[in-house]
Amino acid sequence: MRIKALSAALIFGLAACGGDEPADQPAPDTDAPAADQAPAAQDADWFQVDEDAQTVTIDLVAGSSNANNYWNYNGLYGGDGEITVPEGFTVTINFSNQDPGMGHSVGIGEAQATYPASYSSPEPVFEGGMSSNPTSMTESTMPGESETITFVAETAGEYALICYVTGHAANGMILPFIVSDDGSHGVQM
């Protein structure tokens, strides 16, 4: 909302003034990042990079809070928490499930504008990049269980960490997952 309002003010100002008095500027909002500047990537305590070893370790907890009816990863859902890892790095995801009531899963899939309600037999985009029985409500990673997956982020692009249990991805249980070709890494919180 704020970005739209600011853009409208600038456009109005350009169209209306033509060099006369400047349009009124909105008061600076010290809490918000500048409109033309994305927040800097930062490392979260659950995201570790070893540049020398070329490894990334992600501690990923399904249902770490009751946000989104526990259908979240580390409390994040609906497109928040974009993860970036460098191309070629080996990624280990220590996946656990703290949702008291439901199984969850995680796999690396292609980023999509919207995610389907159900998956029949999903394949990870990188070999090894998916937890076991990922679509099953009874045999995926169940409450209290954990599983570690490891894969090489072989190809730069835009992907997502996806929960393949029916209905979960469609309801926001995804994290954007970027493989960068410039060595950048981090988490946009």
Binding site for Cu ion (CB under 5 A): 104, 163, 165, 168, 173
Q: Using the minimum distance from each CB to Cu ion, give the nearer residue, 10 or 142.
A: 142
| Contact predicate 130/114, CB 8 Å | no
| Contact predicate 116/170, CB 8 Å | yes
Q: Using the minimum distance from each CB to Cu ion, give the nearer residue, 84 or 131.
A: 131
Q: Give the nearest residue (CB) to Cu ion.
A: 163
Least Å distance, CB 73 to Cu ion, is 9
Q: Using the minimum distance from each CB to Cu ion, give the nearer residue, 49 or 76.
A: 76
Q: Using the minimum distance from each CB to Cu ion, give the nearer residue, 13 or 167.
A: 167
Q: Using the minimum distance from each CB to Cu ion, give the nearer residue, 48 or 136.
A: 136
Least Å distance, CB 62 to Cu ion, is 6
| Contact predicate 91/76, CB 8 Å | no
Least Å distance, CB 116 to Cu ion, is 14
Least Å distance, CB 147 to Cu ion, is 13
> What's the rounded Cα separation, in Å, for the pair 132 and 141?
7
Output the CA torsion sign for 21, 26, 30, 33. Answer: negative
Edge-to-edge strand ranges of the sheet holding 90-97: 47-50, 55-62, 90-97, 146-152
Q: Which 3 state secondary structure label does DSSP give 134?
A: coil
| Contact predicate 16/24, CB 8 Å | no
Least Å distance, CB 179 to Cu ion, is 23
> What's the rounded Cα separation, in Å, for the pair 55 and 22?
52
Least Å distance, CB 163 to Cu ion, is 3
Q: Using the minimum distance from each CB to Cu ion, give the nearer residue, 104 or 185.
A: 104
Output the CA torsion sign for 149, 103, 157, 40. Answer: negative
